[in-house]
Structure 1
Amino acid sequence: MQSELTQKQRRFFSYLEREIIRTGKAPSLRQAATDMGVSHSAISQLIKALEKKGILRRKGRYSRTIHMLNRARETAGIMRWQEVPIVGNIAAGLPLYAQQEWGGSVVVDAAIYRGSNLFALRVTGDSMKDAAILDGDLVICEPRQFAENGEIVVALIHQEEATVKRFFLKETQIELRPENPAFRPVYYNFDQVLIQGKVIGVQRGPEIVERL
């Protein structure tokens, strides 16, 4: 693969490879330009050149979601990653995955968390602890506006408050059920709840693990 690249492309590829291994994500254009002593446009051109040669590809809406590819154009195992935005302030009426303000991002394994436009939400409280979702966890969500009975979803209540609960459709209401006997299920009219996504995984920091 390296023989197919120019000297500048090899240098950039090696730099990108080191940064992804070191930090778990690709550097920003600004950081890459600073580290390599070149302009932003030069970095953009290098990325486009490597894409054309099948060395890497960008995925989804977020330009820093990069897959490093091998000669067979398959994802290299240690290089698989996806940067998922963490929902920050919620704008009423907008789907969570359409928010313009993010509260940072989290890097996840793209081989496990498949799909585009994934988003993450930080959990507050322990109402879902029996489903192994703890206070401070990040839930990784697949955007959708429907749910099957029993699925754990992110729901927007009254277009203002996001909550993570287990979904059940009743005859005249929606039940959002916690996974903690200390909390009771809450029932809402159909027009009070907007399903925003299905929870497909949980990311937990070391400070959370220490409390288990």
Structure 2
Amino acid sequence: MADLTNKQQQFYNTLIGYVRKHFRWPTYRELADRLGFSSENSVTQYYNTLVSKQFLKKDSQGNYTFTNPTDVWMARDEDRSTRSIPILGEITAGTMEEAIEADLGEITIGDFFPNASNVFGLRVKGDSMKDLGISTGDRVILSKKELRDGDVGAVMYNGETTLKRAHVRKSGVRLEPANPDHDDIIIEPGEFEEVRVLGKYLGHISEDGLVKASYN
């Protein structure tokens, strides 16, 4: 993979920032306006360059995807430092007492996930894990860890990614969905080297808020 020039990196970072915020790709006009291009042709040229340098992929229908999804969903350090919940005082969990208002700091993502530097998120598309309460549009939280037998995680196999429960045996790996309408994915021992673990499932965020995994 070739290095990007400063302007190409700026274009790539703009794509990442937009998709993180809006969960969709920007239009050519939106990119041109954000980057100060006078023509949408410049956007096309940058897209072509990022494809040739293998930072993006383009399918037969002209749709782009990121070659490495973790580039997109890995939270940046400066993002983590600004995401917090203020602690506004104390409240008793025993007998009734007068509320005490004070600035007692903040709750950060590190309080939810102590190893936050190894944590990232991916947006879910599909219903194969619906029996775990994970639906299209939810954001799964993953840790860059190896998967143990029975763990749920995101894996890449044959260039494609999926979220499944992994059953690891000497006879192979079985990727099990949490939906009876979907079939298991069987990976034979000779194909292990083609499997890349993206992350272990820690929980997900839906319209109802944060749901943490039931295992450690």
TM-score w.r.t. the length of structure 1 is 0.48
